[in-house]
A and B are shown apart, each in its own frame.
Chain A
């Protein structure tokens, strides 16, 4: 017959078995912590601001005269999850090509940043957006309307890329 010895209950002394002093000790810790600085963040009211090196959702850089992207399709080719679809078309601008359609399936995206790394125009960069929500598969496919972000809001990332890429 197996008899279990040296369990926690068996090792407790009288005061510990009484519980009451232990509760008092626990409450003391609680009261002490109440007056210490708080570590909990009140998300979503209080949001975390990531650093420039953070890889959030990929976005397209929008300059004053339009998007930087020339729809070369390298991001689409390199994407290991095949999340990106690009359709090119011709424009009259100096760069003859622009994306008439640019879609990223955010259900497929794995935030690896290879699209940013391969981009010859520095047109697709990883942003700081980390809370991506949608209610259906259709909604998860982000088009140009959601992807284009003014360059002013991406300065920190572009600076990071210039320094470390």
Chain B
């Protein structure tokens, strides 16, 4: 392994790596725009210029020393780009010296010549790499007095992405992403000199299922999300690290929240699961249902009407029915491991209960990259807990033959998923309990409606399709949780008062599934003591061998642990944009 010296630190570098990679592996970040660890090297932004040399040797092979006894370095006559220079034994790299700083200043000045500096309008402001480096490597004033070059603005690359040619610094990250990761090579540089801009090939649009990743990838605000555009400043939001519930992949995400409303989801790097990416479907479709159409409070059927009752009263009714008549717990495959564990514990305690979870397959959704045809976030975890996987059709046949007197739906919803024949089946069941997050046609048939929290409001764990157990953290407040109790807070959350209109976002009366199940156990007189999801997970990791040795801090530290395996070392995780409010 070649030993190189970066800024006086001796580093053992992996052979074949470039200087910028070797530096990153040991935690040194060399300023860069166009380089990204998941993309090929372009070397066109020139920001990572560093001074490279080697120690001078005398004829007998000993190091030449100067008058202070330090080895003399023979520098290369010109600076080298760290992203395309492979490491070599004995290499000396200077990333902070005068010559390097001068080059970085010069590159920044060149990049800013034709940049419109419309930060007040730009969505990237506050998380922009160009802003970040303008603070660190810029003289603060432009010597350029001529008219800036004008290029096309507000170009729609698809109905999801808006491109602004003037802000673009031509790093080509998006072009390489389209070619190499999204496999949709439709982008290219056109024109020459300072008129270079990026265009789509004629008659194409950039609408790959992963296209929106270029928005985070873009070091400046040239690419913005049509969905998010101008909805909030980045510093007004809190970012909570969590996991996407859209399919069994469980891509790591940050949930951006302002005024208790989710405004956007964006990918969070995790080398085990999703590298740096997530799909557009997850990003666009997995937050609106948390914000709208939610069930708040418990409801009990009296005659033809649903009456509002306290959650405890409703749980009492369900507990009595389950104890007297037995029944069936029908789980959604997107319940957390904690929910599944307590459901299993309740079924064991009563032993008249049947426990299944319903699969949700969509072969048209899956692909060979991140998207899975299994649309349930946690089917692997529920199977690891020994809960049986069924389809709606199998379950319909089973219910028709067994005729259970109680059907208790936990998150699973045959009517919203349009499973065939289920309205007829449900209509014949004496007691239907719907424990759901959102309003659904099932409520019309339900005798008890219990409000469940969504993935964004709970703490818990999902096990993804490859067995990675990953930690979810609450990003949205409910009536029973408090943001100051360890949730991520934006500045507005910290300092808001009740008479500030920006603190009035809706807080719903709902509970995590496991808490509602524990409530039923309490109503039955069982002595379960769980005050947090961590208590449930602690018991789960002790009783289920596959989860052995896990707890939330271990899951956070290693960004997930595989079922039945030891934690795998994570290494340095690359974050492209540093200035942005960090979620970790």
Contacts and interface: CB of A to CB of B under 8 A. Distances in A.
Q: Do they bind each other?
A: yes
Given A88-B230, A89-B230, A82 B500 contact: yes
A68 to B, nearest CB: 11
Contact of B230 (A74, A90, A105): A90
Interface in B107-135: 119-121, 125
Contacts of A107: 499
Size range of the interface on B?
A: 20 to 34
Nearest to B230: A88
A82 B230 contact: no
A72 B121 CA distance: 6
Given A85-B501, A85-B502, A97 B121 contact: yes
B492 interface: yes
A120 interface: yes
A141 interface: yes
B492 A82 contact: yes
A96 B121 contact: yes
Contacts of B499: 105, 107, 137
A97 B230 contact: yes
Contact of B119 (A72, A85, A141): A72
B461 to A, nearest CB: 36
B558 interface: no
Interface stretch (B73-81, B94-102, B196-204, B231-239): B231-239
Nearest to A103: B501
Interface in A86-112: 88-90, 95-97, 103, 105, 107-108
Given A77-B235, A82-B492, A96-B154, A71 B230 contact: yes
Contacts of A72: 119-121, 125, 233
A108 B498 CA distance: 13
B229 interface: yes
A82 B497 CA distance: 10
A120 B235 contact: no
A125 to B, nearest CB: 16
Interface residues of A, number: 23
A96 B502 CA distance: 24
A97 B233 CA distance: 12
A82 B490 CA distance: 13
Contacts of A97: 120-121, 230
A73 interface: yes
A142 to B, nearest CB: 12
Contacts of B153: 96
B213 to A, nearest CB: 22
A34 to B, nearest CB: 49
Interface centre among A71, A73, A76, A105 (most CB of B within 10 A): A73
A88 B231 contact: yes
A70 B233 contact: no
A140 B502 CA distance: 15
Contacts of B119: 72, 120
B500 A105 contact: yes
Nearest to A89: B230
A97 B502 CA distance: 20
Contacts of B236: 73, 76-77
A147 to B, nearest CB: 15
A89 B230 CA distance: 6
A83 to B, nearest CB: 9
Contacts of B229: 90
B121 A82 contact: no
A82 B178 CA distance: 42
Contacts of B233: 72-73, 76-77, 88
Contacts of B496: 82
Contacts of A105: 499-500
Interface in B376-424: none
A74 to B, nearest CB: 7
A121 interface: yes
A109 B103 CA distance: 45
A77 B499 CA distance: 18
A93 B382 CA distance: 53
Nearest to A86: B233
Contacts of A74: 120
A141 B502 CA distance: 12
Nearest to A120: B120
A70 B121 contact: yes
Contacts of A89: 230
4 nearest A-B residue pairs (beta carbon):
A72-B120, A88-B230, A73-B233, A97-B121
Interface of B: 119-121, 125, 153-154, 229-233, 235-236, 492, 495-496, 499-502
Interface of A: 70-74, 76-77, 82, 85, 88-90, 95-97, 103, 105, 107-108, 120-121, 137, 141
Given A70-B121, A85-B501, A141-B501, 9 more contacts: A72-B120, A73-B236, A85-B500, A95-B121, A96-B153, A96-B230, A97-B121, A103-B501, A121-B120
26 contacts: A70-B121, A72-B119, A72-B125, A72-B233, A73-B233, A76-B233, A76-B236, A77-B235, A77-B236, A82-B495, A82-B496, A82-B500, A85-B502, A88-B231, A88-B232, A88-B233, A90-B230, A95-B121, A96-B121, A96-B153, A97-B120, A105-B499, A105-B500, A120-B119, A120-B120, A121-B120
